[in-house]
Amino acid sequence: MPRLRARIAPPLPRRSRSIAVSRPLLRACAVLALAAVAQGCGAPARTNTQDDAAAVVDSLYRDHFAHEQSWDATYQRQHARFAPDLAALLDADTRAAAANADEIVGLDFDPLTYAQDTMTGFDVGASTPEGSDAIVPVTVRQDSAHTTLRVRLTRSDAGWRVSNLHYPEGDLVSILRQLAADRRRNP
C-alpha cells in the first residue's frame, strides 16, 4: 500500500494594508485620545454646580415675569424652589396676611423684584460660591431704572434652593423675621 504524503501548501504572501495617514492627522488623533483619558476614562462628566444655581434663578425669574409678576401665584407654583427655612417664613407671612384681609400685614412688595411696581425686565448674572452656598446676582429693570439683587441658594439633596434674597437695603429673611416679631408684639 502506498504511503500518502501530506502536502503542505506554502503560506500565502501577506498583503500590506497601509493607509496613507498624514502626520497632522496622527497628532490630532493622539490629542483626542489624550483628552479622552484626561476626562476620566469613562467617568461621568462633572457639571458645574454654580451654573446649575444660576439656571435655577433664571428659571424662577422667567416664570415670574411670564406670569405678570404675581408674587403669590409664582410662590405657589415655585414653592419647591425655596429652602425650607425661607418657605416657613414666607408661609407664616402669607397666613398672617390672609387672617387680616382688611389691613396690610406682612410683605408689601414683591420679594423677587424688591418693588411694588411691575418691572420691565431682568438679567441673571453668573453665580459665585460663598462657602457652601451660591450667590446669583439679578438686575431687575423698570424702563431705564434698575436694581441689583443677590439671590442666595443653598444646596440640598433635591438641588439648589433659594434661601434668601439680599436687597440694596436688607434681606428677605431679616425682613420676614422682623415682621413676625412685630406681629407677636402687636397681635
Q: What is the β-pairing status of strands 121-124 and 128-130?
A: unpaired
- To the question of domain 49-185 being in CATH 1.10.150.530, the answer is no
* Residue spans per domain, the chain: 49-185
Q: How far, in Å, CA of 26 to CA of 22, rounded?
A: 6
Which helix (H) or strand (E) segment holds residue 95: the answer is helix 84-99
How buried is 125 (Cβ within 10 angstroms: 0-12 exposed, 13-18 middle, 19+ buried)? middle
Per-residue pLDDT of the chain (187 residues; tens, 9 = 90+): 555 454 555 555 555 444 455 566 546 545 454 445 444 444 333 345 677 999 999 999 999 999 999 999 999 999 999 999 999 999 999 999 888 777 777 899 999 999 999 999 999 999 999 999 999 999 999 999 999 999 999 999 999 999 999 999 999 999 999 999 998 887 6
Nearest of 145, 137, 144, 140 to residue 165 by alpha carbon: 137
Could you read off the pLDDT of 32-46 as tens digits, one per residue? 544 454 444 443 333
